[in-house]
Amino acid sequence: MQASNIDIEAMRKKFPAKNAAGKRRRTQAIKQIAREYERKKAELGGLRAPSMKRGVVFYVVVVLGLMLLASLVMTATGKGGKARISKDAIVVRKSLDALAIALGRFHYHTGAFPSASEGLEILAAMQAVKSGWNGPYIRGGKILPDPWKNKYVYIPGEDGAAPSLFSMGPDGKAGTLDDIIANPALFDEPFRDTSWTRDWVPQRWRGIVVAPDEETKKLVETQVGAYLAATRRAADGEEARRAAFAASPVDKARMAAALAALSSRPGAVSIESHWTYGEGREGEIVEVRCATAGDEAELFVNNVSKGRKARAADDRGIVWNVEYEPGEIKVIAFAGGNYIGEAAERTAFAPAAVSLVATPALGDAEDGYALARVCDDDGTLCPPQAAQEFTFTLEGPGEIVLRDGAAIAFRRRPGSGEPLRLAVSAPGLRTAYATIPWKE
């Protein structure tokens, strides 16, 4: 076999022979190397090492380009790992899992998921709310909002289907990409694995006593029974007292007088007019009446004086008849030529909020009163709206005992010393709040 790729002359020069025997050995060694080369070449199928036809610079550029592409891919995929999950998202996931399982257990006991009106709050109810109920299913007595202070969204399914349960995410909007949705499989988890029922403590068994011996058990049962009986008697008595307290009548005439007193404007001067409701009456003559403890008053319409008048000896009122124009009217009162006070009214703009005036303080078993009105952004009262749907809410030791249109009468239960918190809302308007402290 011809070793065409071996330069024998070059190897002779590299390994010179000093005698004939050495020359033969050298020639045999060279031929052995050539044969070994050809054998290895045949094993490799005639493959040759690649040659760099484009030059070193080309391949350096290619390698650098591949490294840059790899770095971009790793950056886009979170440096080659899984995307990080925020702490808030983890809290939401755990809360959604707990709520989904609680809904499944509620379904297991009652035969249906909560309705839209019952909502998630029924899971935290402390007393039986429907047949088969064996809760509460969530501890703490209430459903906490998600980390972004939004309520979890619960939508019952149709015809007994599984509900929808999710958090609106950081943006607080449903249907966006950051919504976090509960695992729907967890709604059926209490049915697939019923081992939880062995450890479940039903509502009717929560008075059970576990004791080391029979004597201790009987003693504890006696003490617990006495405590529960006293608690039931106290609760029944409290409910009876509340019912009697709320059922005692409220005189509507007394209520009207109290509301009139609340709505009056105490001070050195007050205005009686319909200037705030004058929209659409431009050019009409409007009566403006002023009540004052002084002897003179001056009327201004949009900062233009309409005259200074003296109060008649037999009348505390001063009257002007002026042409209506939108804006502000102001009355400045004087006594003996000295300024003693002023009052102003202006045309109301668009309704924006609810205005609430309420009893400033209330003692034990006393009646309080509150009146709701609609006002604009600056607090100016708007024209009365008889059809306005006001919703009153009273929190604290008291009850609403009478509702008459936009006015309510409420009563504080005795012995608490705590404040009452009153709120009134209406569709499309800002809610108004009032705190009624305890009056010693």
So where are the chain's domains? 8-43, 87-203, 212-247, 264-346, 353-436
- The reply to whether 264-346 and 353-436 are identical in fold is yes
Helix H, strand E, coil C: the string for 172-221 is CCCCCCCCEECCHHHHCHHHHCCCHHHHCCCHHHCCCCCCCCHHHHHHHH
Strand, coil or helix: 123: helix
Distance (Å) of CA 89 to CA 153, 178, 404 = 16, 10, 48
Output the pLDDT for position 3.
Answer: 46
Amino acid at 137: Y
Length of the chain: 440
Reading phi first (left if > 0) and then psi (alpha if -120 to 50, else beta), residue 419 is in: beta
Cα gap 209→161, rounded to integer Å = 40
Q: Which residues of 286-302 are buried (b: 16+ CB within 10 A; e: fewer)?
A: bebebbbebbbbbbbbe
Cα gap 200→190, rounded to integer Å = 12
Q: How many CB atoms lie within 10 A of CB 248?
A: 10
Reading phi first (left if > 0) and then psi (alpha if -120 to 50, else beta), residue 291 is in: beta
CATH class of 353-436: mainly beta
Task: Given CATH 3.30.70.360, say whether it is the number of domain 264-346.
Answer: no
Sequence-distant (≥ 6) Cβ neighbours of residue 79 within 8 angstroms: none
Distance (Å) of CA 178 to CA 92, 97, 144, 169, 170 = 12, 17, 20, 5, 7
299-352: pLDDT as tens digits:
999 999 999 999 876 666 888 998 888 888 899 989 888 988 888 888 888 888
Output the pLDDT for position 246.
Answer: 66
**Could you tell me the end-to-end alpha-carbon distance of the chain, in angstroms, rounded to an integer?**
124
126-143: pLDDT as tens digits:
777 777 888 888 877 789
Q: How far is CA 174 from the centre of its chain?
A: 13
Output the pLDDT for position 366.
Answer: 84
Cα gap 396→418, rounded to integer Å = 7
Output the pLDDT for position 370.
Answer: 92
Task: Decide if 166 contacts 146 (C-beta within 8 A).
Answer: no
Amino acid at 142: K
Q: Which of the 8 DSSP states describes residue 264?
A: S
Cα gap 299→345, rounded to integer Å = 11
pLDDT tens over the chain, length 440 residues: 444 556 666 666 665 655 556 667 777 777 777 777 777 777 665 555 555 556 666 777 777 778 877 777 666 555 555 556 788 889 999 999 999 999 999 998 888 999 988 899 999 887 777 778 888 888 777 899 999 999 999 999 887 788 999 999 999 998 888 899 999 999 998 888 888 887 676 665 565 555 667 777 777 777 777 777 776 776 666 677 667 766 677 877 878 888 877 766 556 677 777 777 665 678 888 888 888 888 899 999 999 999 999 987 666 688 899 888 888 889 998 988 898 888 888 888 888 889 888 988 888 888 889 999 888 888 888 877 644 689 999 998 888 888 888 899 998 887 777 889 999 998 888 899 999 998 87
Task: Given CATH 1.10.3720.10, say whether it is the number of domain 87-203.
Answer: no
Output the pLDDT for position 423.
Answer: 92
Cα gap 281→406, rounded to integer Å = 26
250-300: pLDDT as tens digits:
877 878 888 877 766 556 677 777 777 665 678 888 888 888 888 899 999
